[in-house]
Amino acid sequence: MLNENLQYPSDFNSEVKDATAHLYKGVEKIIPEVEWPFHAPLIHEINKLKKEKNIAILTHNYQTPEIFHCVSDIVGDSLKLAYEARDSEADTIIVCGVHFMAETAKILSPNKNVLIPDTRAGCSLSESITAEDIRLLKQKYPGVPVVTYVNTSADVKAETDVCCTSGNAKHVVESLGVDKVIFLPDEYLAKNIAAQTDVKIISWKGRCEVHERFTADEIMAYKKQHKDIVVLAHPECSPEVIAVSDFAGSTAGMSNYVKDNQPGRVIMVTECSMSDNVAIENPNVEFIRPCNLCPHMKRISLKKIYDAIRFNQHQILVDKAIIDKARLSIDRMLEIGRSS
Ligand code: 13P
Ligand code: SF4
């Protein structure tokens, strides 16, 4: 939470204006000029402190443009952030995303100082399952490998055989060479993968509170209104939504689709900020925005990033025994790699 008694950089002087002018050029289509003087002093200070303290800011695709485009060192989907956390040479990693992403960074870089600007940035999928649930499932289905989406806690990952993300889920499931897997916790991702593979999928009842809100009727109404529209959807959406979409993939998969195909008009059936960030990089593509916000992602702000740096808060701490077990399941995934 923000302490309103604290001071934050707010002077939009000529030094700040000059030092941030190139950054504003990059976001001017999305951030109105009148708003820039509120962001620029914080952006300037964060970027100065980051260099002084050897900090890397790893930012998920759902963060707002002033964070995504103006203070981040690495941006991407969950899978890319995991690779970068493992390979980073910074002393401190700040994760601008949700808690499971910061925990994954800590598991992969246990000797680094890993911070999250707001500890309340959670995830409905991560909340949907506990380590005890997995232990019970393993008793019920002995010998069946457990594939767990990275949107889970470190305790859950420690009970897992191999992790996956939306960018490699099918690839991970099929790489195991078995006829049956336990696939947790996202019910819709499990159904969407089951539709593409002969491997039998035993699923759980978790849902993403953002993606479950989209309906096929809503998407069909957009398609009726804009005949030439290309629909890109995240696989956390229901199978009915995926069935009326032209492409389903991770946040990076959707972003790459736009970059590579340059459709005239597109809808990204996912979190709001994604379209803003991708629109900036693809000025010739028109974005129709069916907007659902992730309230957890939106807890991160420039002020909280600034506080994270100046007060070295909030440190991610994970028990060593859990790190050692959870790391195996993430390392297995990173060895298998990406499929989309
Ligand atoms: P990606 O791995 O596709 O970035 O998705 C993460 C997420 O939380 C989507 O809701
Ligand atoms: Fe979790 Fe959904 Fe938010 Fe992604 S969009 S972090 S899955 S609640």
Under 8 Å between Cβ of 331 and 30:
no
Residue of the CA atom closest to atom 2 of ligand 1: 78
Shortest-distance atom of ligand 1 to CA 271: 10
Ligand that lies nearest to the alpha carbon of residue 234, given by its number in the listed order: 1
Which atom of ligand 2 is the closest one to the Cα of 296?
3
- Burial level of 215, CB count in 10 A (0-12/13-18/19+)? middle
CA dist 128 and 141 (Å) reads 20
Please tell me the residue having the least CA distance from ligand 2 atom 7: 208
Q: Which domains does the chain have, with CATH numbers?
A: 14-122+297-311 (3.40.50.10800), 126-207 (3.40.50.10800), 211-288 (3.40.50.10800)
pLDDT along the chain (340 residues), means of 10: 84 98 96 97 98 98 98 96 95 98 97 98 98 98 98 98 95 97 98 98 98 97 96 98 97 97 97 94 93 95 98 98 98 82
Name which residue sits closest to atom 1 of ligand 2, judged by CA: 123
Q: In this structure, are strands 230-233 and 247-248 parallel, antiparallel, or unpaired?
A: parallel
Please report the pLDDT score of residue 25 as a whole number: 96
Distance 323 CA to ligand 2 centre (A): 23
The best mutation among 79, 99, 209 to test binding of ligand 2, ranked by most ligand atoms within 8 Å of the C-beta, falls on 209
Task: Identify the CA nearest to 332 among candidates 145, 60, 76.
Answer: 145
Q: How far is the CA of 231 from the centre of ligand 2 (A)?
A: 20
Peptide bond just before 314 cis, omega within 30 deg: yes
Task: Could you list the beta-strand ranges (E) of the chain.
Answer: 55-60, 74-76, 92-96, 113-115, 146-149, 162-164, 180-184, 200-202, 230-233, 247-248, 265-269, 286-288
Q: Mind giving me the DSSP string for 306-317?
A: HHHHHHT-PBP-
For residue 220, report the distance from its CA to the centre of ligand 1, in Å. Answer: 24
Q: Which ligand is nearest to the CA of 61?
A: 1
Nearest ligand, CA of residue 122?
2
How far is Cα of residue 297 from the mean position of the Cα atoms in its chain? 8
**How many angstroms separate the CA atoms of 223 and 225, rounded?**
5
pLDDT at 104: 97
Q: What is the pTM of this model?
A: 0.96
Q: What is the structure's pLDDT at 2?
A: 77
Ligand 2: atom nearest CA of 271 is 5
For the packed helices 36-52 and 302-311, what is the interaxial angle rounded to 10 degrees?
30
Is 236 a pocket residue for ligand 1 (Cβ < 6 Å)? yes
Probe ligand 1: pick from 96, 151, 212, max atoms within 8 Å of CB? Answer: 151
Distance from C-alpha of 249 to C-alpha of 340, rounded to nearest angstrom: 7
The Cα 49–Cα 42 span in angstroms is 11
Q: Which ligand is nearest to the CA of 250?
A: 1
Instruction: Fill in the amino acid letter for 186.
Output: D
pLDDT the model gives residue 340: 47
> Which value, to the nearest 10 degrees, does the dihedral of the CA atoms of residues 26, 29, 32, 38 take?
-20
pLDDT of residue 78: 93
212 Cβ inside 6 Å of ligand 2? no
